[in-house]
């Protein structure tokens, strides 16, 4: 291989390696990561497993949106959220959504009915 061919090879590699890295992240790493997070959240059986799954989800990626079935009027008022958590007759069904999206453009989402209502505090920044 002469110097010209070697230079072309180096320039080509320097151009394609970042492109391959970005494609690998978007098409391989993120789908595997979020599929794992969603499976952990949705399959938790106990409140301890649920807490661990929420901590993992919060540590491994920023949860972009959190939807509650009949949420408090304002998330900023901690008293309203406390009232929701302490209401024994109310079940908390949540939908977690991450900003990153699937290659199809649909965001990653996990659905859960909380076994321990106080675990909602792990997802809500206070």
Percent of residues, the chain, with pLDDT higher than 90: 14
Determine the Cα–Cα distance for residues 22 and 10; give it in Å rounded to an integer. 19
Is-contact 50 114, C-beta < 8 A?
yes
- Structure confidence by residue, pLDDT tens digits, 10-69: 788 788 888 777 777 777 888 888 889 999 999 999 999 999 998 888 887 666 777 777
Q: What are the boundaries of each domain within the chain?
A: 35-123
Alpha helices of the chain — where are they, by DSSP H? Answer: 3-24, 30-43, 47-60, 78-86, 120-123
Q: What does pTM read for this prediction?
A: 0.72
Is-contact 61 38, C-beta < 8 A?
no
DSSP letter (8 states) at residue 28: I
Name the residue with higher pLDDT: 43 or 6: 43
Question: Under DSSP, is residue 66 helix (H, G, I), strand (E, B) or coil?
Answer: strand
């Amino acid at each position: 291989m002469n110097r010209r061919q070697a230079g072309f090879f180096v320039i080509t590699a320097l151009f394609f390696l970042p492109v391959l890295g970005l494609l690998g992240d978007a098409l391989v790493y993120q789908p595997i990561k979020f599929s794992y997070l969603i499976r952990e959240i949705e399959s938790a059986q106990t409140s301890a497993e649920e807490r661990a799954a929420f901590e993992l989800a919060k540590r491994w990626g920023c949860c972009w949106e959190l939807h509650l079935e009949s949420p408090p009027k304002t998330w900023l008022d901690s008293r309203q959220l406390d009232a929701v958590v302490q209401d024994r007759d109310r079940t908390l069904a949540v939908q977690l959504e991450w900003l990153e999206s699937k290659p199809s453009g649909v965001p990653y989402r996990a659905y859960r009915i909380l076994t321990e209502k106080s675990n909602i505090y792990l997802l809500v920044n206070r």
